[in-house]
Structure 1
Amino acid sequence: MVSARTAVFVVFALNGCALGSWAPRVPALTEQVGAVPGSLGLALLGASLGLLLAATVTGRLVEWLGARLVMALSTVAAALVLAALGLTTSVLWLGIALFAMGAAIGVLDVSMNVAAVFVERDAGKPLMPVFHAGFSFGALGGALFAGLAASHGWTPMRQFAVAAVFAILVLFAVVKALPGVKPKHETSEKPTSAVPPIKRPVLWLLAAIALCSAIAEGASSDWSALLLVSEHGIAEGPAALAYAGFSLAMAIARLSGGFLQTKLGARQVLAGGALLAAIGLLAAALISSPVLGFAGFALAGAGLAASFPVALGLAGEAGKRADGGGGEREIAFVTSVAYTGFLAGPPVIGGIAQLTSLSTSFVVVALVGALIAPATVAALRAGRRERERSYC
């Protein structure tokens, strides 16, 4: 019998697999639809917009329908849209397909993080980095499959169709073990904090951490292959492995994330990781060496590993009720703000690349990643002040 913890881990992996399957094929999709960096950035904006809009409503959706149903429906939707993505023949239709993909993944992302927080609470120990490691392993598997498919001349349509069928079959194997079969409607107990998320500085600062991480991670997934192809002269097949290395390093770092957070503290893990990520991205952008390009993206993956899961875990704790529930809206709020990074990132990176180069774009991304360090210090201070006021 599959446990709830294993089932949620698998769903995280499927979400990562969806991203890893299509992101490395951006060069092939660019050629297929005849895009240039600027128009490609606008098409990628569709995915970010879908993510953002979906994240704003998913907290309520999970409360109404339950986490299991929301996760199952959004996983199937993402798989079907992935298959359709390979059929696009223009920048417009690519943008529309990516919008639908972003919406499906946005719903899945918030609902699976809510389920992960509930499993973590039941276990009584930090598990969020481990669940996000599942996402990274899934992205790694998808990226490896994409690189293999590209090296063997598979069209995006053929590769995406195979990935979609695989995702649906795996979902059916674990769907009954997913938590949240019935939504829990709390009517008699107020949340621990009556202050709306939008008025809580600690949530804005946690969202800033996730936002900077989203920009850096999104840039690595969407543009790493194209950077190595256009700036370093690497063939498409090997270049697709850059994101695979990024995902592998992130997955390994996340497996030890809970242990490091316990031993070193959230501030040291997040701030130190931000500096590592910035160094890695600068190396990939500025040093004309394929080896250092791959190593730079791997270092960036390890450095960014803790940012998103720790920020969401802290947001869930900020909304925890006395009965052990709560946190759905806090997680949705932080996720929604973070997704603006996916919204703003593609057109900004594409615009900078259009005016200068992709290398210059990644220098900017590295600076954004470094901002996680001061945001972490400010968020932890704001959290302490909020807790002190609640005890008064």
Structure 2
Amino acid sequence: MRTRAVPVFVVFLLNGIIAGSWAARMPSLAEQIGASPGVLGLVLLGASVGLAAAASVAGRLCARFGARVMILVSAVAAGSLLPVLALVTSPVQLALVLVLLGASFGVFDVSINVAAVTVIRRADRPLMPVFHAGFSFGALGGSLAAAVAAGHRVDLLRYFTLVALVSLAVTAVVIRFVPTAEPATGALRERGGLDRSMLRRPVLWLLGSVAFISAVVEGSNGDWSALFAVRERGMSEAAGAIMYSVFCLAMGVVRLFGERIQRRFGAIRILVAGSLLAGIGLLMAAIVPVAWLTYAGYVLAGGGVAFAFPVVIELAGAVGRRSDGTGGEREIGFVTTIAYSGFLIGPPMIGGVAELTNLSVAVGFIGVVAMLMVPAALAAAAARRREDRGRRTQTEPPRDYAHTENRG
């Protein structure tokens, strides 16, 4: 199992490194293009539009070509686009580059999750949070590297070029070891994208709503935490970059122990508790103007939101599993598309609230939004139970659910 799981963990790590590397340099990018919070929020729509658009077709691409191929293509594209960020000189140029970068990440994210589901089914273990810990630690490493680069005044072009070269080298080494299910053929291939059957399944919409709220919280923190620390708490750019680092560190540590926690408490309990913890942490960061308490608030927020996305993705893959043990690509793509609309809405929403008030109010607002995962998770559990009752006479194995809601 380890020989299959390690390469997938590495590509999750790489995904996080690339994401954390550019998100933490947002203050420098904002200064480079001369953008106010409101304008920057609109610019960030570019990445979110690319994410959502690509995720909507990524499941079909994985079903047709296999996850390994799509990981290779998207990882190379994402890494290669990083240096281009350093060359933009206007908000419009940055937005266009972010559309392409977001599209690369949309395919990258779906394909690594499809590969992770393949490993989980073969190992029969709830490993999705552990894989997503790889992303969190990667984002942590990327943001720490960004902090060091900012502290030493390394220019953006040199920094992004170095990250790109490292990411391409890692991709070249690890890609051939990434396991993948056989691509769909025949009728199954034709059903590889979004279809009306999924649109009529409440469980997928409700799982997507949990992922959507999680994406609003996670995306807003990724894009705005450094700027919040610099402009509202008076920190240096290097210290501001560390704000996102502590968020990622907390998320990564919690996810690393995710298998044990998930087996012990079940999906619904950890989603509800995490939602409340994330909300409390962001409200504390927004209300109390003390630097160490701001860091503590982001630690709570990172730990609280840690389980939402991986647990939901694992469940989405489970509801799409076919009798032969394959499938789930479409469902993962569907739920991920809903989630990425949260990345589409969250950052510009923060920018708009900050433009009308300030970033402290905007961060507090996201804390309130985080708590909405509680009713969404409870509703998703109820819908899943109804769907399970309706499918008891069918042959779909129930194993994928056992790890995610036992005793939950």
User: TM-score, with normalisation over the residues of structure 1?
Assistant: 0.97
Contiguous gaps of at least 5 residues in structure 2: 394-408
The residue aligned with 2:44 is 44
1:69/1:181 contact within 8 Å kept: no
* TM superposition shift of 1:360: 0.9
CA distance in 2, matches of 1:247, 1:4: 25
CA distance in 1, matches of 2:168, 2:234: 37
CA distance in 1, matches of 2:199, 2:240: 41
The residue aligned with 1:349 is 350
Q: Alpha-carbon deviations, 1:323-358, whole Å to 9, x = none?
A: 111111110000000100111112111111011001
* TM superposition shift of 1:180: 2.5
2:118/2:180 contact within 8 Å kept: no
CA distance in 1, matches of 2:162, 2:302: 27
Q: 1:189 to 1:147 in 2, by over 3 A?
A: closer
Instruction: Give the letter aligned to residue 58 of structure 1.
Output: A
The residue aligned with 2:164 is 164
Alignment of 1:86-97 (within 5 A): 86-97=86-97
Instruction: Give the letter aligned to residue 102 of structure 2.
Output: G
Alignment of 1:176-325 (within 5 A): 176-180=176-180, 183-185=183-185, 187=187, 196-325=197-326
Q: Alpha-carbon deviations, 1:210-248, whole Å to 9, x = none?
A: 000000001110000100111110111111001110101
The residue aligned with 2:327 is 326
2:254/2:306 contact within 8 Å kept: yes
CA distance in 1, matches of 2:34, 2:252: 34
Instruction: Give the letter aligned to residue 82 of structure 2.
Output: L
* TM superposition shift of 1:157: 1.6
Instruction: Give the letter aligned to residue 7 of structure 1.
Output: P
Q: 1:190 to 1:33 in 2, by over 3 A?
A: closer
CA distance in 1, matches of 2:7, 2:188: 31
SS of the residue 1:240 aligns to: helix
2:354/2:361 contact within 8 Å kept: yes
2:280/2:367 contact within 8 Å kept: yes
Q: Alpha-carbon deviations, 1:364-383, whole Å to 9, x = none?
A: 11111101111111111110
The residue aligned with 1:383 is 384
The residue aligned with 2:337 is 336
* TM superposition shift of 1:4: 2.6
* TM superposition shift of 1:312: 0.5
* TM superposition shift of 1:207: 0.4
* TM superposition shift of 1:189: 11
Please identify runs of 4+ aligned residues in structure 1 that moved more than 3 A: 186-191
The residue aligned with 2:80 is 80
Q: 1:2 to 1:75 in 2, by over 3 A?
A: farther
* TM superposition shift of 1:196: 1.4
* TM superposition shift of 1:270: 0.6
* TM superposition shift of 1:65: 1.4
Alignment of 1:17-36 (within 5 A): 17-36=17-36
* TM superposition shift of 1:195: 7.0
Contiguous gaps of at least 5 residues in structure 1: none
Q: 1:24 to 1:125 in 2, by over 3 A?
A: same
Higher mean alpha-carbon deviation, 365-374 vs 48-57, is at: 365-374
Instruction: Give the letter aligned to residue 48 of structure 2.
Output: S
Tell me the matched-pair count.
390
CA distance in 2, matches of 1:324, 1:369: 34
Q: Alpha-carbon deviations, 1:112-139, whole Å to 9, x = none?
A: 1011101100001101001100000100
The percent of aligned pairs where both chains have the same amino acid is 49
TM-align CA RMSD: 1.7
Q: 1:190 to 1:234 in 2, by over 3 A?
A: closer
User: TM-score, with normalisation over the residues of structure 2?
Assistant: 0.93
